[in-house]
Amino acid sequence: MRVLVVTAVPVERDAVTRTFGDGSAAPVREAGGAEIHRAGPFDVLAGGAGPAAAAAAAAFALATAPEPYGLVVSAGIGGGFAPAAPLGSLVVASAIVAADLGADTPDGFLPVTALGFGRDRFTPPPALVREVAAATGGATGEVLTVCTVTGTAERTAALLTAHPAATAEAMEGFGVAEAAGRAGTAVLEIRAVSNAVGPRDRAAWRIGDALTALTGAFGKLIPVLEGWTPHDRNHA
């Protein structure tokens, strides 16, 4: 089974491919302007930042694949909600949630589903989530997809009020999940925590540690995937 892995930027892509070497594997093909690098069972591309770029890149890669993928993984670094996801830890999404897709109203934020259309979450295969979390030592919980990274305590509190099961936030997961869902392919999201969600403090970020954790996670992922068959798909 081949697995498509979609990251935002090349440094995240290289952290994944480094599992099998120095992280500089030559691209095997191009999809929508993004180079796809092959590393073991993973085809890895840096699709761009944000849900729109991630969805477009994943959709192109899925549509032009010479053979179907058995799984799509949104992967990279992200912010962790304290204390559930400390710096350098891993999070495996039990749900991939579009946290700011909807409408602002005088009574507060309404998700797109409350407006009567669309969807605001995908649920990866639960058994696979449990097995990946056990193999990697990652926490499980909701990973929020946002278009604007959280930078205040007030916004952090609002997100946790709306999503008490949230463990991390990033910018691409829901876009990747939309593409995978439309292709009928299972999706997973894995985040390595580089910073705490909240007021921006660049001096406290641990991007290098998070990238190292991401590399380690994909090495531990292979035995899980070898024993998994993609019979259970994503759920609303």
Cis preceding-peptide flag for 27 (omega within 30 of 0): no
**What whole-number distance in Å separates Cα of residue 15 and Cα of residue 192?**
11
pLDDT in tens, 45-56: 999 999 999 999
pLDDT interval class at 19 (50, 70, 90): confident
What's the pLDDT score for residue 20? Answer: 81
Is residue 34 pLDDT above 70, yes or no? Answer: yes
Is residue 230 pLDDT above 90, yes or no? Answer: no
Mean pLDDT of 159-165: 93
Is residue 148 pLDDT above 60, yes or no? Answer: yes
- Which CATH number does 3-226 carry? 3.40.50.1580
pLDDT interval class at 25 (50, 70, 90): low
Domain range summary for the chain, segments of one domain joined by +: 3-226
**What whole-number distance in Å separates Cα of residue 32 and Cα of residue 162?**
35
Is residue 227 pLDDT above 90, yes or no? Answer: no
Handedness of CA 196, 197, 200, 205 (dihedral sign): positive
What's the pLDDT score for residue 172? Answer: 97
CA atoms within 13 A on the CB side of 102: 21
Determine contact, residues 86/79, Cβ cutoff 8 Å: no
